[in-house]
Amino acid sequence: MDKLILIDGNGIIYRAFFAMPPLTNSSGVHTNAVYGFTNMLLRLIEEEKPTHILVAFDAGKVTFRHEGYQDYKGTRQKTPPELSEQFPLMKELLQAFGIAQYELEGYEADDIIGTVTKLAEQENRQVIVVTGDKDMLQLASDHIKIALTRKGVTEIEMYGPEQVMERYGLTPSQITDLKGLMGDTSDNIPGVPGVGEKTALKLLHQYGSVEELLAHTDELKGKLKENIETHAESARMSKQLATIYRDVPLTQTWEHMKFSGLQADTAVPALRKLEFKSLLERLSLVTSGEAEVSEQDIPAEELNVKIVTEQNMHELEGALSQIDVLHVETHGDNPHQASIVGIIMSSPEEQFYIPIELLKSDSGRKVAEWFADSKISKRGYDLHRTDLALHWHGITFAGASFDVQLAAYLLDPTEANQEISDLARKYGLPSLPLDEDVFGKGAKYKVPSEDVLTVHLARKAAALRKIISKQEEELRSNEMNRLFYDMEMPLSRILADMEKQGISVHKDDLRALGKEFEEQLDKLVQQIYEIAETEFNINSPKQLGEILFDKLGLPVIKKTKTGYSTDAEVLEKLAPYHDIVQFILQYRQLAKLQSTYVEGLLKEIRPETGKVHTYYRQTIAATGRLSSQFPNLQNIPIRLEEGRKIRKVFVPSEPGWYILAADYSQIELRVLAHISDDERLKEAFLHDMDIHTKTAMDVFGVKAEEVDANMRRSAKAVNFGIVYGISDYGLSQNLNIPRKEAARFIEQYFEVFQGVRRYMDEIVKEAKRDGYVKTLLERRRYLPDINASNFNLRSFAERTAMNTPIQGTAADIIKLAMIQMDQALQDHRLKSRMLLQVHDELVFEVPEDELETMKKLVPETMEKALPLSVPLKAEVSYGVNWYEAK
């Protein structure tokens, strides 16, 4: 028999909010009401096993128009933002649960419930109405039970007509009479003064209804008689007000309310997102079908995994054409130095574990050829790392066609480090033991026995196959196929090539530079100790703070969480007070160069090649940018001359070759001009004007020749601010001016660049509506805090909404340029090699006879990478080292 659970959405979430202790997820969004609601919901599903569920909401976005729920507090009050931010979360969760929700403009949840129960009545269906509002008892009947929440929402009490009679001695329909007499202050139902529940019940037991009572007021006496006669109209009206409307023009049919059990693949990720761990555990009790087994590991026998030896190698060779998933387990953060722990080659029917030594040996030749064949497509997790690790073990890897890690990154670039087990859980697949549990963590890392290892890797491969089909669907529905298959996948191979190639570092010159720094540092240290009249660790901000502020009594400009701030900004301000400060600033600068760029870089040079091989990570930056590690070659000094010298040690790897570098000019502002479609900004770039000068002219309303250095500097800061998601405070800090003045600049900017203002407004609105923002090429970034009540979180999300499409589109563009450049080098049969990417810059090493070609080809390719409504501009230069390529 059908059973419908009908929930008063607003009422329950409101009660849950006040009943539950405050609860926030790790990013500070309140979730307590959603938690309470969900807890109750899961319990009801378990206990009542409904076939249909509908959650009714008041129409309108955040305003409570309905009154019934507010008897809790006794007075009307505005919905706190901590609660209103939970409505979208709740609705999203219901959707993930496959539970119908309904709201209709101009009607309250009560009205919808009244109407649905009326229809159910007519069709002989069973309904449980879940509400905190006693008024609803009027709906009780043989078919309709009212589940009244008590103590918030954790307990419910079920009312049929008998229970109503037991409790009040009234029939359900008399509940309206009761309200008519006693009223309800929170609902603005006046009732009759002086009549409370007791009197009202007594009168109703005697007369049955408001009408009947009013017809017999002559039988009453004293004050009561007077009150009732005076307020007879109020009593009638109050009864009317308390009567639930039951004729809403519904568009939702019975079929829409159907509930066929929670589906783990959507419910699990939704609960995980909310960080409801205890509910996740309960979920297995109420999910249907497949999900029942989802908590279990796949039994080892079912994996059908074979360990490959010289003897049975032919079996693997025979199955090669069936292998559709590959997993290479590596150990070590740096893939250029990673060990290979194990390799699983997996087909839907059987899986093969092949030891790396066997693969390297003569007997493994055929399999190694399979790995190297770019025409054979390989699917797996982090194939970029796989490629590098295998490369340094002498195995060529080619033909990557689907990388699960990369797909997971595109589907949610902010979710950090999504391991295979995390993804299996996300998609409700059979669970995997954690790597941490199999191998141990950090220093305790240990490769388990071959049996254990083999089974673990086979489980991973089996999970990958299923994850891939889920991701294929998700990529397609997010319209990310082009981004994935035509951009990130091909780029992954190009990055690996660049990294394997590496860039030569002139070790002796670097050591010599270190020597120079050393001598200067020694002098500075002595001078600092002398002035301080004591020796201390200058590298310790704590000790330095004590010297500057306690001992020397300099004014405290800024504090950190743990004590005095001693950063460069503070020291600059302190410089006029004391000579020591200049020395400390110089010390800091040199110490940084020495430790990070001389010593750090020296450690990363491979003795065999004299090169550094960075590792570009494609799945870290939330905006779509690359990051660089071991060493980071994206933050080599350039702004100050002392540091810039470091660039002299980056040299071509072949004699007579050159380093050639090309960088995009103002790519982010050009992107902004395109996506905001701002006429003024577009015009500036169409005429290739100096954008900061042009901004100064427009903002300050002066001619080009009237723009002084200071105006240009301010305009430049404003342009940066615009790209970062402007705030008057941020600008005021940057320019060291009062906030009000910064606010004026911004206002003037927006007056002129109205298209930019429109873009900023629109993108934030879009983010609030969709929960994410996109780049030109459909790269997404979710912004869960965009509707947060916490000002900080919300503001941050808003700035991110403004910045990400800009920074992200710029990242898209240079990635396209790299792919096209890689192709161009092949097409032109050039020996030149692409070595580095630094966000808006590409660095090559080029033989002399290709210089002329490359000087044209590189900027042209970069400029054509993605046609926009404004031209892209790339500037090229070259020299005998990276320093000279300026």
Partner DNA sequence: GCACGGTCG
Partner DNA sequence: CAAAACGACCGTGCT
The nearer residue to DNA, 254 or 630, going by C-beta atoms, is: 630
The nearer residue to DNA, 270 or 731, going by C-beta atoms, is: 731
* Binders in 655-694 for DNA, by CB under 7 A: none
Q: Does 534 bind DNA (CB under 7 A)?
A: no
DSSP 186: G
The nearer residue to DNA, 386 or 800, going by C-beta atoms, is: 800
* Binders in 442-461 for DNA, by CB under 7 A: 442
> Using an 8 Å Cβ cutoff, are 835 and 882 in contact?
no
Choose which of 165, 621, 689, 737 interacts with DNA (CB under 7 A): 621
Distance CA 209, CA 184 (A): 18
Tell me, letter by letter, the H, E, C secondary structure of 200-225: HHHHHHHHCCHHHHHHCHHHCCHHHH
The nearer residue to DNA, 365 or 551, going by C-beta atoms, is: 551
Choose which of 293, 376, 452, 638 interacts with DNA (CB under 7 A): 638
* Binders in 293-322 for DNA, by CB under 7 A: none
The nearer residue to DNA, 225 or 603, going by C-beta atoms, is: 603
* Binders in 43-62 for DNA, by CB under 7 A: none
The nearer residue to DNA, 174 or 628, going by C-beta atoms, is: 628
Distance CA 33, CA 20 (A): 7
Grouping H, G, I as helix, E, B as strand and the rest as coil, residue 292 is helix
Span interacting with DNA, options 141-149, 372-380, 568-576, 696-704, rule CB under 7 A: 568-576
Choose which of 304, 431, 632, 653 interacts with DNA (CB under 7 A): 632
- Between strands 305-307 and 351-353, the pairing is parallel
**Spatial strand order in the sheet of 611-612:** 611-612, 503-505, 650-651
The distance of closest approach from Cβ of residue 443 to DNA in the complex, given in angstroms and rounded to an integer, is: 10
Beta-bridge mates of residue 331: 339
The distance of closest approach from Cβ of residue 457 to DNA in the complex, given in angstroms and rounded to an integer, is: 24
Choose which of 68, 335, 631, 805 interacts with DNA (CB under 7 A): 631
Residue 669's Cα: distance from chain center in Å? Answer: 25
Burial-class residue 58 by CB neighbours within 10 Å (0-12, 13-18, 19+).
buried
Grouping H, G, I as helix, E, B as strand and the rest as coil, residue 769 is helix
> Using an 8 Å Cβ cutoff, are 411 and 387 in contact?
no
Is omega for the bond preceding 355 within 30 degrees of 0, making it cis?
no
The distance of closest approach from Cβ of residue 401 to DNA in the complex, given in angstroms and rounded to an integer, is: 26
* Binders in 801-830 for DNA, by CB under 7 A: 803-804, 807
Q: Does 702 bind DNA (CB under 7 A)?
A: no
**H or E element, residue 794:** helix 791-827
Q: Does 563 bind DNA (CB under 7 A)?
A: yes
The nearer residue to DNA, 426 or 781, going by C-beta atoms, is: 781
The distance of closest approach from Cβ of residue 840 to DNA in the complex, given in angstroms and rounded to an integer, is: 3
* Binders in 424-443 for DNA, by CB under 7 A: 442
Task: Give strand ranges (E) for 251-404.
Answer: 305-307, 325-331, 339-346, 351-353, 378-380, 400-403
Binding residues for DNA, rule CB under 7 A, total 76
The nearer residue to DNA, 390 or 612, going by C-beta atoms, is: 612
The nearer residue to DNA, 241 or 498, going by C-beta atoms, is: 498
Tokens of 336: 């250029």
Choose which of 321, 560, 710, 869 interacts with DNA (CB under 7 A): 560
Span interacting with DNA, options 42-50, 124-132, 336-344, 627-635, rule CB under 7 A: 627-635
* Binders in 585-614 for DNA, by CB under 7 A: 588-589, 592-593, 595-596, 599-600, 603
The distance of closest approach from Cβ of residue 591 to DNA in the complex, given in angstroms and rounded to an integer, is: 7
The closest of 65, 86, 81, 82 to 13, measured between CA atoms, is 86
Choose which of 490, 637, 771, 847 interacts with DNA (CB under 7 A): 637
The nearer residue to DNA, 283 or 496, going by C-beta atoms, is: 496
The nearer residue to DNA, 653 or 665, going by C-beta atoms, is: 665
> Using an 8 Å Cβ cutoff, are 865 and 644 in contact?
no
Q: Which amino acid is at 578?
A: H
Work out the number of other CB atoms within 10 angstroms of the CB of residue 423.
Answer: 26
The nearer residue to DNA, 8 or 85, going by C-beta atoms, is: 85
The nearer residue to DNA, 28 or 190, going by C-beta atoms, is: 28
Beta-bridge mates of residue 781: 773
The closest of 791, 532, 496 to 626, measured between CA atoms, is 496
The distance of closest approach from Cβ of residue 202 to DNA in the complex, given in angstroms and rounded to an integer, is: 51
Distance CA 875, CA 886 (A): 10
Q: What are phi and psi of 310, to 5 degrees?
A: -60, -35
Q: Does 791 bind DNA (CB under 7 A)?
A: yes
* Binders in 826-865 for DNA, by CB under 7 A: 838-841
If you write DSSP's letter for every residue of 320-342 in order, what string do you get? GGG--EEEEEEESS-TTS-EEEE
The nearer residue to DNA, 563 or 867, going by C-beta atoms, is: 563
The closest of 431, 434, 145, 92 to 284, measured between CA atoms, is 431
Task: Give strand ranges (E) for 57-134.
Answer: 100-102, 126-131
The distance of closest approach from Cβ of residue 566 to DNA in the complex, given in angstroms and rounded to an integer, is: 4
Distance CA 798, CA 791 (A): 10
Q: Does 567 bind DNA (CB under 7 A)?
A: yes
**H or E element, residue 188:** none
Q: Does 629 bind DNA (CB under 7 A)?
A: yes
Choose which of 628, 695, 775, 787 interacts with DNA (CB under 7 A): 628
Span interacting with DNA, options 76-84, 477-485, 635-643, 695-703, rule CB under 7 A: 635-643
The distance of closest approach from Cβ of residue 694 to DNA in the complex, given in angstroms and rounded to an integer, is: 17
Spatial neighbors of 882 by CB under 8 A, at least 6 apart, are: 636, 647, 648, 650, 651, 659, 661, 843
Count CA within 13 A, CB hemisphere, residue 339.
Answer: 8
The nearer residue to DNA, 123 or 747, going by C-beta atoms, is: 747
Q: Does 720 bind DNA (CB under 7 A)?
A: yes
Q: Does 635 bind DNA (CB under 7 A)?
A: yes
Choose which of 417, 449, 562, 826 interacts with DNA (CB under 7 A): 562
Q: Which amino acid is at 524?
A: L
Beta-bridge mates of residue 24: 30
Span interacting with DNA, options 288-296, 476-484, 792-800, 854-862, rule CB under 7 A: 792-800
Choose which of 228, 636, 752, 842 interacts with DNA (CB under 7 A): 636
The distance of closest approach from Cβ of residue 386 to DNA in the complex, given in angstroms and rounded to an integer, is: 19
Q: Does 787 bind DNA (CB under 7 A)?
A: no
Span interacting with DNA, options 34-42, 525-533, 566-574, 862-870, rule CB under 7 A: 566-574
The nearer residue to DNA, 112 or 581, going by C-beta atoms, is: 581
Per-residue burial over 717-730, b if 16 or more Cβ lie within 10 Å, else e, is bbbbbbbbbbbbeb
How open is the CA angle 540-546-550, to the nearest 5 degrees? 170
